[in-house]
C-alpha cells in the first residue's frame, strides 16, 4: 500500500497538477537570507548624494556649519537605526561640497532640511543650494565615517574660458575629481591610520575642485535646487498609455456641423 501511494503521488506530479508549495528562486533566496538573520543582506541598497551650496556671507565661523550637520546626522541616525551614515563636508571660504552616503530616506531628509533651512531661519547658514548628483545602488562606500574638513584654498577668478565651457563638461569633471578624492582618502586612512585627519586634503591639491568651479555650478540653471528636486521627487509619475497614441481615437468623433 505505501508503494501504491508513492506511485500515485509521482503520477500526479508528473501530470503538472498545481502544488501549494511551489515557489521561485528569488523567494527561496529571500527566505534563506531572512532565516539566517543577516541584517546586511536584507538591508536597503546604498545611495550617495552630493550637494553644493554657498555659505551665508555673514557666517564668520565655518565650524558652525560642521556642528549643525553633526547634530542633524546624529538625529537622523537615531531615527533610522541601522542606516549607517558616512560622507564628507568640505568647507571652502565661500562654498561647501557635501557628500553623504546612506539609505534613500536619510538622503531625502538631508535635502528636505536644506530646503527648510531657508524658510525656518532668519539667517540660513547656506544659500543657493544645488543637487550635483543622486547616485542610487552604489556598489561600495567611499568613506568610513562622516566628518567635515576645511579646504584652505583661495578663491580663483572666473575667467572667460571657464564661462564658455559646457556645463555638462564641468559637471563630469567635478564628479570625477570627487570620486578620486574619496578613493584617495580611503587609501590614506588604510595605509596611515595615525595620520592627522586635517592634513589629508592638503596632500592631494590636484583632487580639490577649485572654488570658481563650484560657483559656476551653483549659478547654473541645469542643476536642480533642493526645492526643485523635492518637487520632482514627490510629483506623481505621468505615463502616456499606448491607447492615447493610436488612431482612430477610442472615442467617436462627431462630424463638424455645416454652416
User: What is this structure's pTM?
Assistant: 0.72
Is residue 109 assigned to a domain? Answer: yes
Is residue 225 assigned to a domain? Answer: yes
**Residue 224 lies in domain:** 43-232
**pLDDT score for 25:** 66
Is residue 80 assigned to a domain? Answer: yes
**pLDDT score for 108:** 93
Helix then strand then coil, in percent of the chain rounded to 5, is 45, 15, 35
Residue written as cell 568647507? 91
Residue written as cell 511551489? 22
Is residue 18 assigned to a domain? Answer: no
Is residue 77 assigned to a domain? Answer: yes
**pLDDT score for 223:** 93
**pLDDT score for 12:** 46
Is residue 146 assigned to a domain? Answer: yes
Is residue 38 assigned to a domain? Answer: no
Residues of the chain with pLDDT below 50 are 1-5, 10-18, 20, 34-42
Is residue 23 assigned to a domain? Answer: no
Q: Which residues are paired to 53 by β-bridges? A: 96
Q: Which of 76, 97, 100 is nearest to 87 (CA)?
A: 100
CATH number of the domain to which 200 belongs: 3.30.70.100
Question: How many domains, the chain?
Answer: 1
**pLDDT score for 103:** 92
Residue written as cell 565615517? 145
83 with 99: CB under 8 angstroms? no
Amino acid at each position: 500500500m505505501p508503494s501504491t501511494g508513492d506511485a500515485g503521488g509521482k503520477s500526479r506530479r508528473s501530470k503538472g497538477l498545481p502544488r501549494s508549495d511551489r515557489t521561485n528562486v528569488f523567494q527561496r533566496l529571500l527566505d534563506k537570507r531572512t532565516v539566517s538573520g543577516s541584517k546586511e543582506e536584507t538591508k536597503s541598497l546604498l545611495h550617495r548624494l552630493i550637494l553644493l551650496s554657498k555659505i551665508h556671507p555673514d557666517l564668520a565661523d565655518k565650524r558652525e556649519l560642521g556642528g549643525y550637520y553633526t547634530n542633524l546626522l546624529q538625529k537622523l541616525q537615531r531615527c533610522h537605526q541601522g542606516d549607517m551614515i558616512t560622507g564628507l563636508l568640505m568647507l571652502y571660504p565661500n562654498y561647501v561640497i557635501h557628500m553623504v552616503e546612506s539609505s534613500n530616506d536619510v538622503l531625502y531628509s538631508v535635502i528636505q532640511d536644506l530646503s527648510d533651512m531657508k524658510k525656518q531661519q532668519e539667517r540660513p547658514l547656506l544659500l543657493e543650494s544645488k543637487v550635483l548628483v543622486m547616485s542610487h545602488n552604489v556598489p561600495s562606500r567611499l568613506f568610513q565615517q562622516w566628518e567635515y574638513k576645511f579646504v584652505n584654498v583661495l578663491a580663483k577668478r572666473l575667467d572667460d574660458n571657464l564661462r564658455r565651457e559646457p556645463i555638462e563638461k564641468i559637471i563630469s569633471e567635478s564628479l570625477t575629481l570627487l570620486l578620486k578624492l574619496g578613493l584617495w582618502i580611503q587609501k590614506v586612512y588604510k595605509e596611515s591610520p595615525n595620520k592627522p585627519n586635517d592634513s589629508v586634503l592638503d596632500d592631494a591639491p590636484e583632487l580639490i575642485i577649485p572654488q570658481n568651479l563650484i560657483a559656476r555650478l551653483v549659478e547654473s540653471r541645469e542643476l536642480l535646487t533642493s526645492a526643485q528636486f523635492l518637487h520632482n521627487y514627490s510629483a506623481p509619475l505621468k505615463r502616456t498609455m499606448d491607447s492615447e497614441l493610436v488612431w482612430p481615437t477610442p472615442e467617436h468623433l462627431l462630424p463638424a456641423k455645416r454652416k
